[in-house]
Amino acid sequence: MKVDLHVHSKHSKRPASWVLKKIGCAESYTSPTSLYKKALDKGMDFVTITDHNTISGSLEIAHLENTFISEEITTYFPDNQCKVHVLAYDITEEHHQMISEIRKNIFDLVAFLNAQNIVHSVAHPMFAINDRLKPSHFEQMLLLFKNFELNGSHDSYQNQALMKILNVLSKSDINVMADKYQIKPYGREPWIKNLTGGSDDHSGLYISNTYTEVKGVSSVKDLLQGICNHRSIVHGQGGSPKKLAHVLYSIMYQFYCHNFNIEKWIDDDYFLKFLNRVLLLEDQSQESSVLKKFKKKIWGYRKHNDSMANQLQQIARKVIVNDVQFHDVIEIVDNNSKVNELVFQFVKRISNKILKQFADDLLFKLSSANLLDFFQTIGASGFLYMLLSPYFVAFSLFQRDRFFTKECLQRFKIKNCMFTHQHKIAIFTDTFHEINGVASNIHSQIDAAGQTDKPLVVITCGQSTTQNEKVKNFDPIGTFNLPEYPELKLFYPPFLCILEYCYEQGITHIQSETPGPVGLAGLAAAKILKLQFNGTYHTSLPQTTGFLTEDTGLEESLWTYMIWFYGQMDNVYVFSKATADQLIEKGISRHAIQIKHQGIDIHKFHPKKRNGFLNSQFNIDDNKLKLLYVGRISKEKGLSVLVDSVKKLGEKRKDFHLIVVGDGPYLKDMKTALNNEPVVFTGYLKGKTLSQVYASSDIFVFPSSVDTFGYVVLEAQASGIPVIVTDQGGAKENMIQGKTGFIVPANDSTAMAQAIFDLLDDQSQLRMMKYHAREYAKTRTFDDSFNYYWKNYGLN
């Protein structure tokens, strides 16, 4: 005999989910008679209804064959009012009356159920109903209850963990817990538990997808007795975030259908027909009255009210009509077990289109300094949030319960039954495929993580096919070209896909390397999945923007955003004290900031790679002293100061040559300005070629005053050449003044030219600085910084 031992009807009134509470929605709209018919159609031999703290649903079908009265009882642990749900089966109205009077205390309730020989099971025992569930409560349940439910709506991971715990539970475990909590365990062999199964359906979509079977019985009494004698078999799978979101959409849809009045017939429509099909799983050859009511209300709302609702409907209509996958589902009559995946794809497609339009509008207004409309656009994002809120709620709940399940597994010293690693770090970055310091550092981390088997994955977004176990590249849903950074594009990531990926991969920590769209996706995923959110402050974007645009208002607006973004983080990693002081002054908590001394690969950059490369490739005389700049060719890097310094040098001597490695918007102007000077522009270089250029040069000049770190300064010293940096920014903390190079005042071309003169005129000092530069670089290895990074996560 088969029965779904956990299912709800419209008599379950009070929803647990905030998204349903927000709109005044009930917990279920399924009629008991509809539930009864669906259960029988699914092959159930008996039908019962377990509404919350009421038997009204069961009584409504009590006159029908093969039914019995049950309810889901809300009870509490008295120490902290932790909620627990207990399913009581085959009860009477008198039983219900007594249960209602004593259910506030779980110990009183269990004593009553046992005294009355009422078969009962603890529902979803690892689900924190009101966020007060602790492992100690679960242990007490193991003493109080004989029957435990495998739930069809909650995480399959929970069901697997529960079975593992019950399978290893021993007599000694029970004795230890009994002494610990001073509770007498129930049953003659309390370490042997029984299983029940139920769908926990609230929407009518998944009735009897999970059920209990007991063989060789023919009555309700025998079936329940069979459960207590360890003869029950549970069929079906647990839930998933997609399944729960599908249920929430369905309940919300039924709520609107339930509350709208109809005045006249409205013509057929694919959009609403599709919703009716996937959210009710009903075929609509003839429109039902609720569908007509819903259409009436939607059209009136669209016509007179919100333009965003109108936009949503237009997008949804195009998606359905133009995509065979969605168009054909309307014609499907049988129950589609994969419909929750279809709903996910549908919502993803719509939300991606809306998100693209929203992001385009937002960034355009920001770049044009239209701040009033910018904040109005941000306000409109609430509509997108409400559209996606069922998925946000679902993933958040399932993630929370996973954390608790892991605690329980650890309590019983059981290996995690789903994930290989206890921790897994996801690095979110907007720049990965480009050539810059941030991307270079991330690539180095990937290589090191691969060599040391660290659980690390980089999440990025771009037009690339790069995919491996350490890199997950998502196809963008849109792009935005930065006016001041023509070689760099912002890619809009598909957020629902990223959220699903982080959940399915068991990500435990998120670190954002950039504050762009991908970084924002990381922040949102961390908040929804309740993960630690860290970040690295690589680039002083406000100062750079202010330098390029000379717009102080835009610079301050960017500071407001950056402080908000980094203010969300548990830890903010910076590479210099100067950067730390700046962020603290701007408003970031001092306790959140950690100075992370970054390192470089001292084997990749080495003096031994000096081989006359500049002479052979660019015909630069080996007898000339070679000045080197590596980096972005842009005004904010202080390159106009370098131009003036080189001109001052050229007026007095000819025994030097400048090599400029990189590209950028200032390249054309810089070439023009240095047209008559000894200079070569190589463009972007990387790998072995870049290492040879470093080692084949003599002095590295870095005139930037806005860089927070300056990887190139360490790379130069590792290659055995001294550096000249400015007294502003973080680069000055990556060298030793007077020993591995010189620090000069920012924006002072005379001071920079004089520092170069001093080294050109003193070959002995130059040789000593080359030696000390290499020795200093040996103290700043990438391996040391990588180990420091993982030590912070407790994974070294």
Q: What is the pLDDT of residues 56-89, one digit of tens each?
A: 999 999 999 999 999 999 999 999 999 999 999 9
Query: What was the pLDDT predicted at 133?
Result: 96
Cα separation values, 141 from 150, 225, 281, 402, 480, Å? 15, 21, 37, 18, 55
Res. 268: pLDDT tops 60: no
Residues 251 and 235 in one domain: no
Residue at 412 is within a domain: no
Q: What is d(CA 313, CA 299) in angstroms, rounded to the nearest whole number?
A: 10
Res. 336: pLDDT tops 60: no
Listed range (491-500, 592-601, 621-630, 642-651) with the worst mean pLDDT = 592-601
pLDDT digits (tens, 9 = 90+) for 681-738: 999 998 899 999 999 999 999 999 988 888 899 999 999 999 999 999 889 999 999 9
Residues 250 and 309 in one domain: yes
Tokens of 707: 């860089």
Residues 568 and 481 in one domain: yes
Query: What was the pLDDT predicted at 430?
Result: 92
* Number of structural domains found in the chain: 4
Res. 526: pLDDT tops 70: yes
Q: Which residue has the tokens 């669906």?
A: 38
Residues 561 and 614 in one domain: no
Q: Domain with 124 in it: what CATH number?
A: 3.20.20.140
Residue at 671 is within a domain: yes
pLDDT band at residue 785 under the 50/70/90 scheme? confident
**What integer is the mean pLDDT of 33-49?**
96
Residue at 297 is within a domain: yes
pLDDT digits (tens, 9 = 90+) for 370-383: 544 544 555 556 66
Own/partner contacts of 266-275, CB < 8 Å, gap of 24 or more, are 266/292, 266/295, 266/296, 266/299, 269/295, 270/317, 270/320, 270/321, 270/327, 270/330, 271/313, 271/316, 271/317, 271/320, 272/298, 273/330, 274/320, 274/326, 274/329, 274/330, 274/346
Res. 590: pLDDT tops 90: yes
Does 502 or 706 have the greater pLDDT score? Answer: 502
Using DSSP's 3-state secondary structure scheme, residue 725 falls into strand
46-49/2-4 β-pairing: parallel
Query: What was the pLDDT predicted at 787?
Result: 75
Model's pTM, two decimal places?
0.85
Q: What angle is formed at CA 106 by the lines to CA 165 and CA 100, rounded to 5 degrees? A: 135
Residue at 144 is within a domain: yes
- Of 198, 215, 239, which residue is a domain's last? 239
Question: Is the four-CA dihedral 786, 791, 793, 795 of positive or negative sign?
Answer: positive
Q: Residue 771 CB: number of other CB atoms within 10 A? A: 14
Q: Domain with 556 in it: what CATH number?
A: 3.40.50.2000
- Of 239, 266, 297, which residue is a domain's last? 239
Query: What was the pLDDT predicted at 653?
Result: 86
**What integer is the mean pLDDT of 114-127?**
97
Q: Which residue has the tokens 């002494």?
A: 179
pLDDT band at residue 148 under the 50/70/90 scheme? very high
- Of 239, 254, 270, which residue is a domain's last? 239
pLDDT digits (tens, 9 = 90+) for 432-485: 988 787 888 888 888 888 888 888 999 999 877 666 789 999 999 998 876 656
Q: What is d(CA 151, CA 199) in angstroms, rounded to the nearest whole number?
A: 6
232-235/211-214 β-pairing: antiparallel
Query: What was the pLDDT predicted at 315?
Result: 65
- Please give the residue range of the domain that contains residue 588: 419-595
Does 272 or 368 have the greater pLDDT score? Answer: 272
Q: Hey, what's the torsion of the CAs at 427, 428, 430, 431, to 10 degrees?
A: 10
Using DSSP's 3-state secondary structure scheme, residue 213 falls into strand
Residue at 364 is within a domain: yes
Residue at 316 is within a domain: yes
Q: Which residue has the tokens 């060719």?
A: 633
Does 584 or 285 have the greater pLDDT score? Answer: 584
**What integer is the mean pLDDT of 528-552?**
84
Percent of the chain whose predicted confidence (pLDDT) is above 90? 61
211-214/478-482 β-pairing: unpaired
Taking a C-beta distance cutoff of 8 angstroms, is the pair 656, 627 a contact? Answer: yes
Residues 135 and 178 in one domain: yes
pLDDT digits (tens, 9 = 90+) for 276-326: 777 877 544 444 444 444 444 444 444 444 455 566 666 666 666 566 566
Residues 260 and 330 in one domain: yes
Residues 733 and 709 in one domain: yes
Residue at 232 is within a domain: yes
Residues 551 and 629 in one domain: no
Backbone phi, then psi, for 196, in 5-degree steps?
-120, 160
Residue at 393 is within a domain: no
Query: What was the pLDDT predicted at 284?
Result: 43
pLDDT band at residue 404 under the 50/70/90 scheme? very high
Residues 532 and 443 in one domain: yes
Query: What was the pLDDT predicted at 484?
Result: 59
Query: What was the pLDDT predicted at 324?
Result: 54
Taking a C-beta distance cutoff of 8 angstroms, is the pair 115, 76 a contact? Answer: no
Q: Three-state secondary structure along 170-199?
A: CHHHHHHHHHHHCCCCCCCCCCCCEEEEEC
Q: What is d(CA 518, CA 526) in angstroms, rounded to the nearest whole number?
A: 12
Query: What was the pLDDT predicted at 263?
Result: 35
Listed range (313-317, 627-631, 640-644) with the worst mean pLDDT = 313-317
Q: Which of 491-495, 722-726, 784-788 has the highest mean pLDDT?
A: 722-726
Res. 266: pLDDT tops 50: no
Q: What is d(CA 66, CA 47) in angstroms, rounded to the nearest whole number?
A: 6
List, in sequence order, the alpha helices (H) in 529-638: 541-549, 552-567, 577-586, 613-618
Residues 612 and 565 in one domain: no
Query: What was the pLDDT predicted at 302?
Result: 43
pLDDT band at residue 366 under the 50/70/90 scheme? low
Residue 93 CA to its chain's centroid (Å): 48
**What integer is the mean pLDDT of 340-349?**
88
Average pLDDT, the chain: 86
Query: What was the pLDDT predicted at 325?
Result: 60
425-428/509-512 β-pairing: parallel
Taking a C-beta distance cutoff of 8 angstroms, is the pair 123, 7 a contact? Answer: no
Residues 45 and 194 in one domain: yes
Taking a C-beta distance cutoff of 8 angstroms, is the pair 736, 769 a contact? Answer: no
**What integer is the mean pLDDT of 259-284?**
58
Residues 555 and 580 in one domain: yes
Q: What is d(CA 39, CA 591) in angstroms, rounded to the nearest whole number?
A: 57
Per DSSP (E only), the strands in 247-384 are: none
679-683/656-661 β-pairing: parallel
Q: What is d(CA 481, CA 501) in angstroms, rounded to the nearest whole number?
A: 27
